[in-house]
Amino acid sequence: MDSHPPLRSFGRLKSRPIKPRQAALMDSLLPQVRAPLDNFDPKTLLPDAREVWLEIGFGGGEHMAAQAARSPDTLIIGAEPFLNGVASALRHVEEAGLRNVRIHDNDVRDLMARMPDACLDRVFVLFPDPWPKARHNKRRLIQAETIAELARLLKPGGRLRFATDWADYADWTLERVLAGGQFAWPAERADDWRVPPADHITTRYEEKRLGDCAPVFLDFVRA
């Protein structure tokens, strides 16, 4: 039996010291909005929610918080292991008075394993760590196992949005997501992946353009 844990798809867990106000929110607000640590159905967290969305690797929480503010009748669960990002997201949640956000401050794979089939309407994977060196590609979040798990969690017709500014990662993702036959890619022309979708929210991280190409947006539909 292989006893090795799965490779981490993310890098450091903390960088600069967390600001005092945000550190206080880690103690006070995070326990209130943290996703359950046992098996759970997301709908029980906000029974009146029209839809349930998952954002994987929410960075500083700008996109997650803005989407939550825009769609108050949607429950958004965000996963992010980087503590500085979690602290930043908590500040956004508090400042906007959001009641429809839950946070998993660890590896998203642990969270996904605790949720039932067909419980999500939408998933965002926006600008994940590209691991651009070939020898590190195995650490990329998008792998066959992850795609299978997302297919399990998404309802038929549910949507998966992947965005990256690394050309190789866009090709990598398109090939692997379509390989299993569980997702369709309805794009018809270049603007469908080159132009940000109408409901996209640009973050400061995206504006830095740290990759090797303009942002690519791949919107998939669960078959």
Active-site residue list: 129
Instruction: Confirm or deny that 168 is annotated as ligand binding.
Output: no
95 marked as part of a ligand binding site: no
Is 138 labelled as part of a ligand binding site? no
Tell whether residue 80 is among the known ligand binding residues.
Answer: yes
Q: Is 121 annotated as a binding residue?
A: no
- Cβ pair 161, 219 in contact under 8 A: yes
Q: Is 62 annotated as a binding residue?
A: no
Look up tokens 């960075």; give the residue: 59
Q: Is 206 annotated as a binding residue?
A: yes
Cα angle, residue 54 at apex, residues 83 and 186 outer, rounded to 5°? 130
192 is in an annotated binding site: no
Closest CA to 68 of 164, 199, 197: 199
DSSP 168-221: HHHHHHHHHHHHTSSEE----STHHHHSPPTT----HHHHT--SSSS-EEEEEE
What are the binding residues for S-adenosyl-L-methionine? Answer: 55, 80, 107, 129
Q: Which residue ranges make up the annotated binding site?
A: 55, 80, 107, 129, 133, 165, 203-206
Binding residues for substrate: 133, 165, 203-206
